Amino acid sequence: HVKRHGKDGYEFFTNSMKGSADQHLSYDTGLRRALDEEQLQLYFQPQIDIQSGMISGMEALLRWKHPEAGIISPTEFIPVAEENGIINEIGMWVLDSGCAELSKWIKAGHSNIRLAVNVSSKQLAQTDFEHHVFNIMTKHGIPGSSLELEITENVLIQDMDQVVNQLRKLHANGVRIAVDDFGIGYSSLGYLQSLPLSTLKIDRSFISGIRASSSRNSIVTAIIAMSKELGLDIVAEGVETEIQHQQLKRLGCPNAQGFLFGRPMPKEHVGLFLKKGYT
């Protein structure tokens, strides 16, 4: 296939492969320095209670401010961090920094606000993960109910007993567990009944398909009905338009997150945002 494109096509192919291998290597060594030299930053994106219009939570989203390359997206460097193991340290930094901000918001009077933190399957594979979480919560005086850990369905494909064990201990201390990007994973639905879950986050791909005519909204409608049946909360991800917002409201979806309500923002902007609301 490659050869049919001729010499130029072949060269292009090998050059781009080499480029990504180099980049991979530089992320690999650069991540250690990123942690040590404080190049990592947390941004926060609001989650809205659709029926009341109040802000219900903030999701912490990681950014790497690289001195030469500029801002690097987590989708680029998280996989590298997972491969070389530094994700465990990065993940603890995220939790610690996120909880430090959350405690400021709570002290400023926003006691109902929740912090959502993405957790990698590699972190859950650590046997002492829940101890680290509890230590950080204690350090910042955070009640379990103010913290929501977001896992993806792929954590359930690996060491299931270990994962279930961790989640049970976290849940027993009030920590909420959300399934991120719900609906696009490969796992069966059985886990929805056996795991101590609090929330499903409907993947953005289902939300972007929402139209004013309700015939195209059956999957979202079905997920909302199923969540209610299972006693789970819902966050619709990637809400960008007022039509999507209004349809979700009409369908009885409890929470939404997306550019319509607010882009991920640096920590310095959160205080004012919480005070003013999203409008």
Residues that bind ligand C2E (CB under 6 A): 45, 60-62, 73-75, 78, 94, 118, 120, 150, 180-181, 238-240, 258-259, 264
- Residue 256 C-beta: closest distance to Mg ion, Å: 13
| Region of 86-94, 148-156, 220-228, 248-256 interacting with Mg ion (CB under 5 A) | 148-156
The answer to whether 148 contacts Mg ion (rule: CB under 5 A) is: no
For ligand C2E, the closer CB: 45 or 217: 45
Closest C-alpha to 224, from 212, 214, 216, 232: 232
**What are the helix (H) ranges across the chain?**
6-36, 74-84, 87-107, 121-124, 129-140, 160-172, 191-194, 204-207, 218-230, 242-250, 267-276
3-state DSSP assignment of residue 57 = strand
Dist CA 190 CA 177 (whole Å): 16
Dist CA 183 CA 170 (whole Å): 24
Decide which of Mg ion, ligand C2E, none touches 264; Cβ closer than 5 to 8 Å per partner kind: ligand C2E
> Which residues face 58 on adjacent strands?
46, 115
Number of H helices, E strands in the chain: 11, 10
Decide which of Mg ion, ligand C2E, none touches 14; Cβ closer than 5 to 8 Å per partner kind: none
- Residue 91 C-beta: closest distance to Mg ion, Å: 13
- Residue 226 C-beta: closest distance to ligand C2E, Å: 20
For ligand C2E, the closer CB: 111 or 158: 158
- Residue 237 C-beta: closest distance to ligand C2E, Å: 6
* Contacts with Mg ion, residue ranges (CB under 5 A): 118, 150, 180-181, 237
